Amino acid sequence: MRMLEEFFPEFTEKLEEIDKLYAEKRMIDEKTYQFICFALSIKARSKPCVLKHFKGALEAGATVKELSYIFALVMREAAGADDCWTHDVIGDWKEILKGNISCSCEKSNCGRPPHPKGWGMLRAARPVTRGQIIKHPLTRFHEHK
């Protein structure tokens, strides 16, 4: 946000207006608001926001046990959603391996079958760090240059 404040202050001013509107129109109590923001902050992997809403929830009367429950709930729901989404993407894995399903991108080498010796032979099959956004659902099956 600091860069936006410096180079695009109009944008940050609008965000502040939205925050004020949320506060004026809020139909839930502060503790519930902090719980929701805490959960969203975890999912967004925003350290400053997690800390802000953790403290905000405590100030609004939450207990660490309640926040731990929300933390567990976020993790469980995220795992379920990730599991379902991944199965939707690679459910036809046998067809993917045969090269019959591509990612529909514009790369000329898309849709080719993986290296015959296995996944580890592809440079694109490198480990992914936590929180890294993978823009291409079939990255493990072929290489983009």
Residue spans of the domains in the chain: they are 1-91, 92-145
114 within 8 A of 141, measured Cβ to Cβ? yes
Token readout for 63 is 């207990």
Tokens of 122: 């592809």
For domain 1-91, give the fold: AhpD-like (1.20.1290)
What's the pTM value of the predicted model, to 2 decimals?
0.59
User: Which DSSP symbol is given to 110?
Assistant: T
Residue ranges of the alpha helices (H) in 28-120? 30-44, 47-59, 64-90, 93-98
The CA-atom distances, in angstroms, between 28 and each of 68, 101, 102, 136 are 21, 46, 46, 38
Low-confidence ranges of the chain (pLDDT < 50): 113-114, 118-128, 132-145
> pLDDT tens digits for 107-130?
655 555 445 554 443 344 444 455
Gap between the Cα atoms of 73 and 140, Å rounded: 29
